[in-house]
């Protein structure tokens, strides 16, 4: 009987050892720091771009960088689905760089809404536009930059289940996974099913 238990124990250990690499493959994380806005794509290999599931980015990011993030999160510049698997994005230490007159406008847009006929750009510095991750179906967890502010409710993030902001955010706060202005007078994000339950 002791021999049988040892054999079963070894088989369980072997099974666990075989499963662990599979779980690791399914969860690929990366930490990146940018020095100059518009260079995020240069720091991620093409193969990694489609396999990363968790990403933390610090440093300056502009609309061109958000094109890359959108592709990684399941939807591209033209609103078409991608094979991106990014489900968790931490931008707590990122700075959003707005429109600059000295850069070509085609490099400063992050999303084209063909149905409405709009080309979306980031306006001013640190503005987190309402549709930055519109239709990005892979994205489930998002941490906004500490310096970010929003003006309109965040939209089109149907699979986003967790939203957060750093404790030192001056503009925003999260209570029970609902995003508010710091004074709690304006609601900026709440999952649809949460609204239905109220």
Strand pairing category for 109-113 and 118-121: antiparallel
Residue bearing the bigger pLDDT, 4 or 175: 175
Examine residue 9 and state whether it is found in any structural domain, yes or no.
no
CA distance 120 to 93: 23
Examine residue 10 and state whether it is found in any structural domain, yes or no.
no
Examine residue 15 and state whether it is found in any structural domain, yes or no.
no
Q: pLDDT, tens digit, for every residue of 117-166?
A: 889 999 999 999 999 999 999 999 999 999 999 999 999 999 999 999 99
Residue bearing the bigger pLDDT, 56 or 14: 56
For the domain that residue 111 is a member of, what is the CATH number?
3.80.10
How many CA atoms within 13 Å lie on the side-chain side of 16? 6
Q: Based on the structure, what is the number of domains in the chain?
A: 1
- Where residue 156 falls (left for φ over 0; alpha for ψ -120 to 50; beta otherwise) is left
Examine residue 7 and state whether it is found in any structural domain, yes or no.
no
Examine residue 6 and state whether it is found in any structural domain, yes or no.
no
C-alpha torsion 80→134→90→48, nearest 10? 0
Enclosing domain of residue 120: 28-197
CA distance 150 to 157: 15
Which pLDDT score, from 0 to 100, does residue 15 have? 52
Examine residue 99 and state whether it is found in any structural domain, yes or no.
yes
Give the percent of the chain with pLDDT over 90.
Answer: 74
Distances from the Cα of 144 to the Cα of 66, 90, 147, angstroms: 13, 7, 8
Which pLDDT score, from 0 to 100, does residue 7 have? 52
Examine residue 4 and state whether it is found in any structural domain, yes or no.
no
Examine residue 2 and state whether it is found in any structural domain, yes or no.
no
């Amino acid at each position: 009987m002791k021999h049988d238990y040892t054999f079963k124990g070894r088989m369980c250990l072997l099974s666990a050892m075989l499963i662990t690499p599979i779980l690791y493959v399914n969860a690929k994380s990366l930490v990146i720091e940018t020095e100059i806005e518009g260079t995020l794509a240069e720091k991620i290999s093409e193969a990694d771009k489609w396999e990363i599931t968790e990403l933390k980015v610090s440093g300056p990011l502009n609309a061109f960088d958000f094109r890359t993030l959108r592709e990684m999160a399941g939807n591209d510049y033209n609103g078409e689905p991608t094979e991106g698997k990014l489900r968790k994005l931490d931008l707590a230490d990122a700075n959003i760089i707005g429109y600059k007159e000295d850069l070509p406008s085609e490099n400063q847009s992050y999303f084209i809404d063909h149905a409405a006929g709009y080309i979306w750009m980031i306006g001013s510095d640190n503005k987190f536009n309402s549709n930055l991750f519109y239709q990005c179906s892979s994205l489930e967890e998002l941490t906004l930059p500490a310096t970010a502010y929003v003006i309109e409710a965040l939209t089109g993030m149907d699979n986003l289940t967790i939203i957060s902001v750093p404790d030192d955010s001056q503009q925003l706060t999260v209570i029970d996974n609902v995003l508010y202005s710091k004074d709690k007078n304006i609601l900026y994000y709440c999952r649809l099913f949460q609204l239905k339950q109220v």
